[in-house]
């Protein structure tokens, strides 16, 4: 699954983006490609929710989309679904998988098929506040600063090696919504930069 230096020189990096929601981080990847910061191509966008807006963003751009059938489970990402996805993304010769608001845990066999090739963006300064609604966790803990992290995905929950982080202050009158919005501004700068860094290490 190694990518030769010659291939990297002559071909754009091929990205797959997985998300469960609105897809503003996916949009930031599209924007970075369009303004020339990121020399890559998004070859497919996938979601576990058929009506997720991330899929609409991709369709509007002409990027192929697919729905991930998770067998009716609310949170689980069944092994068979991960196996099928690994095959699909290998056939598409994907270099890097970018989780962008994807709310299921990736495990074997996807990790085995794409070692150190799966990234995630998380709305906190890991290792602080892993898991869901990390901005709410930061507020409830009385943190005075939080942020966002891009990391490699491993078998744990938000435990993989950190690639880049950005700080965000928590303001006295912050609500969960205002804090998450301020974190997202940083996410949209951080994720493309971290993808560039990860691609340079392939
Ligand atoms: C982002 O804030 C992302 O960090 C978070 O979901 C949001 C998705 O927004 N991810 C997690 O909480 C993963 N644990 P988006 O759909 O607009 O990119």
**Separation between Cα atoms, residue 136 and residue 129, nearest integer Å:** 9
User: Which residues contact residue 151 at a Cβ distance below 8 angstroms, ignoring those fewer than 6 apart?
Assistant: 119, 120, 122, 126, 158, 160, 161, 162, 163
Q: Which atom of ligand 1 is nearest to the CA of 102?
A: 13
What CA–CA distance (Å, rounded) separates 92 from 14? 8
Q: How many other C-beta atoms lie within 10 A of the C-beta of residue 95?
A: 24
Q: Counting atoms of ligand 1 from 1, which one is nearest the CA of 148?
A: 4
Distance CA 119, CA 162 (A): 10
Taken in order 81, 116, 151, 128, the sign of the CA dihedral is positive
Q: How far is residue 17's CA from residue 184's CA, in Å, rounded to a whole number?
A: 17
Nearest-CA residue for ligand 1 atom 2 is: 123
Ligand 1 centroid to 109 CA: how many Å? 23
pLDDT of residue 6: 53
Q: Which of 42, 101, 103, 138 to mutate to test the pocket of ligand 1 (most atoms within 8 A of CB)?
A: 101
Domain residue limits, the chain: 5-200
Q: What is residue 80's three-state secondary structure?
A: helix
Q: Is the CB of 160 under 6 A from ligand 1?
A: no
pLDDT in tens, 129-152: 999 999 999 999 999 999 999 999
| Residue nearest ligand 1's atom 16 by CA | 23
Indicate whether residue 147 lines ligand 1 (CB < 6 A). no
Could you tell me the pTM of the whole model? Answer: 0.94
Atom 3 of ligand 1, residue of closest alpha carbon: 101
pLDDT of residue 8: 52
pLDDT, residue 185, reads 98
- Domain 5-200 classification at class level: alpha beta
pLDDT digits (tens, 9 = 90+) for 79-130: 999 999 999 999 999 999 999 999 999 988 899 999 999 999 999 999 999 9
Work out which ligand 1 atom sits closest to the CA atom of 180: 2
For 156, which DSSP code?
A: S
Predicted confidence (pLDDT) at residue 1 exceeds the cutoff of 90: no
User: Is 122 a catalytic site residue?
Assistant: yes
Structure tokens at 66: 């697919």
By three-state DSSP, how is residue 68 classified?
coil
- Is pLDDT larger for residue 75 or for residue 24? 24
């Amino acid at each position: 699954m190694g990518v030769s230096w010659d291939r990297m020189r002559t071909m754009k990096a091929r990205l797959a983006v997985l998300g469960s929601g609105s897809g503003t981080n996916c949009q930031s990847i599209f924007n970075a490609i369009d303004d020339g910061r990121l020399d890559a191509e998004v070859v497919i966008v996938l979601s576990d929710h058929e009506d997720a807006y991330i899929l609409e963003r991709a369709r509007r751009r002409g990027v192929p989309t697919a729905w991930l059938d998770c067998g009716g489970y609310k949170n689980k990402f069944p092994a068979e679904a991960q196996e099928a996805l690994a095959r699909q993304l290998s056939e598409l010769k994907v270099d890097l998988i970018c989780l962008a608001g994807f709310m299921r845990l990736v495990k074997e066999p996807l990790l085995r098929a794409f070692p150190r090739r799966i990234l995630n963006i998380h709305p906190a300064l890991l290792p602080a506040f892993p898991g869901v609604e990390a901005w709410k966790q930061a507020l409830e803990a009385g943190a005075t600063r939080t942020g966002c992290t891009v990391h490699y995905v491993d078998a744990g929950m938000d435990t993989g090696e950190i690639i880049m982080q950005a700080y965000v202050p928590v303001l006295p009158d912050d609500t969960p919504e205002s804090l998450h919005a301020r974190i997202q501004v940083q996410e949209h700068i951080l994720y493309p930069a971290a993808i560039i860094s990860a691609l340079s290490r392939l």
